[in-house]
Chain A
C-alpha cells in the first residue's frame, strides 16, 4: 500500500531532501528574465534557454534578501557599470531552499560580475564580427566630416537631463546651430527599434542635416545593452550622415560607439566638441582674412613706394630738362654776343666793305676803288690810294 502524505509532509520531506542535497551553496549560470525589488528584497525569475533555438530549458525563482542585496547591488554596479536587471547573463552563488508554503526558491548570496562582463564582451565581439563580415563597420566613419556642421539632427528623449545639457551647452559657443529633436526611447529593451524609427524620420525630414547626434538622457548608466544591439549598430553604420554618440557612460565602449563616426562620453562633450570645431573653422577664416588684408596692404604699400620714387624721378627729370634747356640757351646767347659785330665795333674795331661784302684781303682791292667803313656809330666812304701787301 502506497504511503499517503499530507501536502505539508511532502513539502517538508522535499525541504529536507533539498537541504541535504545542497549543504554547500553552488554557483549557477543563468539569465535574469524578470527582476522585481520589493521591500529591499530582490526577486528574480532565472531562465536558461537553448543557445541555438532560444527555447526555454529551465526556469526558477530566486531571491536576494534585502541585507545581501544592499551590498551586492552597488558591488555589481561599480564592477560592471550596469544595474542588475532583466536581460543579463549572471553567475550567482545560490542555496536552493524549499519552503512548504512558497515552494522552491534559490537564495542568492553572491554574484560574480566578471562573468556578466565577459559574456557581454563575447556578445559584442560576435556582433562586431558580424558587422565586419557584412563590410559595414567603417561605413559611417568613412564619411567625410563636415567642416561647418550647423544643421544637427538630435535623437534623444526630450525630458532627459542629457538633452537639456546638450541644448544649453551648444548655445554657449554663439554659433548659429539649427537643431531638430527626434524623440526616442533611449534606454531599455524598446530603445533600439525606437531609435531606428527616429533615424528614419531624420532622413524623411526634408532637411540636409550635417550630423546625426545620438544622446542619452544622462543619470545612472543603466541598461546600455541596447547600444550593443546589432540592428541599431547596423543602422548607425549605414547611416548616410556622420553620427556622433554621447551615450553618457565611462566604462564600456559599446558597438554603437564603435560604428559611429565619433563617440564622445557625454552630451555636454558633444556640444563642446561642436563649438570647438566651429571655433576652429572660424579661426581659419579669420587667418585667411588677415592674410588677405596683409597681402592687399603690402601690395598697396609697394605701389605707393614705387609711386613716390616715380614722383621724385619726375621732379628731377623736369628740373634737369629745364636746366639743360636753359644752359643751351645761355650757350646760344653767348654765341650771338660773340658774333655780333656791333660788339667789336663798340670796342673800336671797324669793318670795311667792298661791293657790300666785308673786306678780308687787300687782293680784293684796286687803286681808286671806293670802300665803305662801318664804325660803331655811323660809316664813311674812302678811295684806295696805296695798297700794301705784307
Chain B
C-alpha cells in the first residue's frame, strides 16, 4: 500500500464505499475495474490496520489505567 500521509479513517471509509458502489454499477467501466478493485482492497487494508491500532491503543490505555 502506498504511503498516504494525512489519510483519515472516515475519508478512507467514504472512498471505499464509493468504490464499492461504482463496482456494483452494471455499466462499470471495465477498463477501470482492476484499478478500482486494487484501490478498494488497499483501503480495506488501511481501515483494518487503523481499527487494529485503535483497539490496541485503547486496550493499552485502559490496562494502564486499571493497573494504576
Whether a CB of chain A sits under 8 angstroms from the CB of B11 is: no
Among A329, A341, A360, max chain B CB count under 10 A is at: A329
User: Which residues of the other chain, B, contact A326 by a CB distance below 8 angstroms?
Assistant: 48, 51
Closest Cβ–Cβ distance, residue B68 to chain A (whole Å):
12
Whether a CB of chain B sits under 8 angstroms from the CB of A363 is: no
CB <8 Å contact, A342 and B37: yes
CB <8 Å contact, B48 and A335: no
CB <8 Å contact, B20 and A322: no
User: Which residues of the other chain, B, contact A314 by a CB distance below 8 angstroms?
Assistant: 62
Q: Which of B26, B48, B54, B58 makes the CB contact (< 8 A) with A329? A: B48
Query: In the complex, which range does the number of interface residues on chain B fall in?
Result: 20 to 34
Count chain A residues whose beta carbon lies closer than 8 angstroms to a beta carbon of B.
Answer: 25
Whether a CB of chain B sits under 8 angstroms from the CB of A296 is: no
Q: How many A-B residue pairs have CB under 8 A?
A: 61
Q: Mark B31-68, 1 if CB is under 8 A from A, else 0.
A: 10110010011001001100100110010001001100
Shortest Cβ distance from A325 into B: residue: B51
Whether a CB of chain B sits under 8 angstroms from the CB of A318 is: yes
State the main secondary structure of chain A at its contact with B: helix
User: Which residues of the other chain, B, contact A315 by a CB distance below 8 angstroms?
Assistant: 58, 62
CB <8 Å contact, B31 and A340: no
CB <8 Å contact, B24 and A329: no
- Residues of B participating in the A interface, judged by any CB pair closer than 8 Å: 13, 16-17, 19-20, 23-24, 26-28, 30-31, 33-34, 37, 40-41, 44, 47-48, 51, 54-55, 58, 62, 65-66
User: 7 A-B contacts, Cβ less than 8 Å apart?
Assistant: A329-B47, A333-B44, A335-B23, A339-B24, A340-B33, A357-B27, A358-B27
What 5 A-B pairs have minimum CB-CB distances, sorted nearest first? A339-B23, A318-B58, A336-B40, A335-B20, A340-B37
